[in-house]
Amino acid sequence: MKAEMQQSSRFTLNEISRKKLFTKEVVLRILLYLGVFLVLVIVLAPYLWMVSGSFKTSLEIQAADVTRPDLEPRWIPRTFTLENYAKINKTVPMLDYFRNSIIISLGTMFFSIIISITAAYALSRYNFKGKTAVTLGVASTQLFPGIAFLIPYFILFTLINRYFGIQLRNTYPGMILTYTTFAIPFSILMLRNFLDTVPREIDEQAQIDGCSPLGALFRVIIPLSAPGIVAVGIYSFIMAWNEVLFASILTGRATKTVAVGILEYITQQQSRWSQMMAACIIISIPVLLLFTFMQRYIVEGIVSGATKG
């Protein structure tokens, strides 16, 4: 009898604690989803504001006033318009800048891939004197901010133009050279890590089969490391697309990229916010597309670079 009672009380106790655990679980779940929701709101709010701004009339934005409830800026446009997208090229030659950015970014992507795959191949496959020094030299370029070499680099461009008659400022080759060099240190290190995972026997076998070392690189290694190469190419493209500091000094009317061109919507006289927001959306599209396309490889590369380093 006593034993039975004990058992039943233990049973109810168990049930109570299970119920408690269950409610605790539910509360935790709710908190989890609330937290996720909060994160999403904080991340997405500026994007929603950008999209909403791009569909507003410039009049609506100019007339907005936070102190007057009837005129306060709203999330939903009062009058919905596509004018900002249609007029994107009217006040600022955005399409020209877009073309400049495409040319410079594609050029950077191409040269960065070629230059970094050969260097990465040497670092991964050969033992030579000064290998550590080269690796350290490559890594050290990431340490200093662009401003540390922008001034002498600018003067170098000026002097080259004077003494050799080669114009590098405000030209596509000059910008491509600059951005290619910005992209290669990270690209070399990333590709070297990638090539280290491709077994050495494969290229040795190719050379035994009669390939020259360069042939082995192009016929065997490059196809095998395609994901790494694509990731490096996209990284280089995005870097050139987004760069601001050097572009603001070294590009002029003929080569200005979208990253600095977009600032022209706001002048001392007029702020064209709605057009600028439309332009913001348009210039983000290539970057977002490329990133989504290659997200896995890029994220892997960044994460392994950071966690190994």
Partner 1 sequence: MLSKAKGTRRAYWFILPAALCMLFVHFIPIIWGAYISLLDLDVYTLTQWTSAPFVKLGNYIKLFSGKFAVGQRFLRSVYNVFVYGLVTIPVGYIIGLLVALLLNRNFVGRTFVRGIILLPYITPDSVAYNVWRFIFQARIGLVNKYLLKFGLIQEPLVWLVGKRALTAVIIASIWKGWPFACLILLAGLQGIPAELYEAAKIDGASVWQQFKMITLPMLAPVTKTLLLLNVIWNFHAYNQFYILLGGSVGEAHVPSTFIMQEAFTNLHYGMGSAMSVVLMILIVILIAILLRSKRRASYES
Nearer to partner 1, 16 or 208 (CB): 208
Short-list 234, 256, 251, 205, CA closest to 302: 234
Nearer to partner 1, 53 or 228 (CB): 53
Amino acid 87 reads K
Contact pattern for partner 1 over residues 197 through 236, marking x by CB under 8 A: -------x--xx----x-----------------------
User: Given candidates 5, 70, 145, 223, which one binds partner 1 under the rule CB under 8 A?
Assistant: 145
* Amino acid at site 239: M
Which SS3 state, helix, strand or coil, does residue 183 take? Answer: helix
- The residue among 6 and 27 lying less far from partner 1, judged by its C-beta, is 27
Q: What is the DSSP letter of 225?
A: T
> What is the closest distance, in whole angstroms, from the C-beta atom of residue 6 to partner 1 in the complex?
25
CA 42 to chain centre: 20
**Cβ proximity to partner 1, 26 vs 156, nearer residue:** 156
- Find the binder of partner 1 among 220, 231, 260, 278 (CB under 8 A): 260
Q: Which stretch binds partner 1 (CB under 8 A): 6-14, 17-25, 221-229, 237-245?
A: 237-245
Residue list 74-113, contact with partner 1 (CB under 8 A): none
Residue in 79, 197, 205, 295 binding partner 1, rule: CB under 8 A: 295
Max Cα–Cα distance, the chain, nearest Å: 109
Q: How far is the CB of 19 from partner 1 (least distance, A)?
A: 20
Copy the structure tokens of residue 1.
């009898």
Task: Say which amino acid occupies 181.
Answer: T
Nearer to partner 1, 3 or 143 (CB): 143
Residues 160-189, interacting with partner 1 (CB under 8 A): 162, 177-178, 180-182, 184-185, 188
Q: Which is nearer to partner 1, 89 or 271 (CB)?
A: 271
Phi–psi pair at 225, nearest 5 degrees: -100, 25
Least Å distance between CB 11 and partner 1? 24
Binding-site member from 27, 30, 32, 202 for partner 1 (CB under 8 A): 32
C-beta of 64 vs 102, nearer to partner 1: 64
Strand partners, 266: 271
**What are the φ and ψ backbone dihedral angles of 55, each rounded to 5 degrees?**
-105, 5
Q: Which member of 22, 33, 80, 293 binds partner 1 (CB under 8 A)?
A: 33
Q: What's the CA gap between 155 and 163, in Å, rounded?
A: 12
In this chain, which of 59, 95, 136, 151 binds partner 1, going by CB under 8 A? Answer: 151
* Interacting residues of 211 by C-beta distance below 8 A, sequence separation 6+: 219, 220
The token pair at 75 is 């999330």
User: Minimum CB separation from partner 1 for residue 286, in Å?
Assistant: 10
The rounded distance, in Å, linking the Cα atoms of 151 and 157 is: 10
Among 118, 161, 170, 193, binds partner 1 (CB under 8 A): 118
3-state secondary structure of 141: coil
By C-alpha distance, which of 219, 218, 192, 221 is closest to 301? Answer: 192
From the list 273, 275, 278, 301, which residue makes contact with partner 1 (rule: CB under 8 A)?
273
Total chain residues near partner 1 (CB under 8 A): 101
Instruction: Note whether 59 and 78 are within 8 A (CB).
Output: no
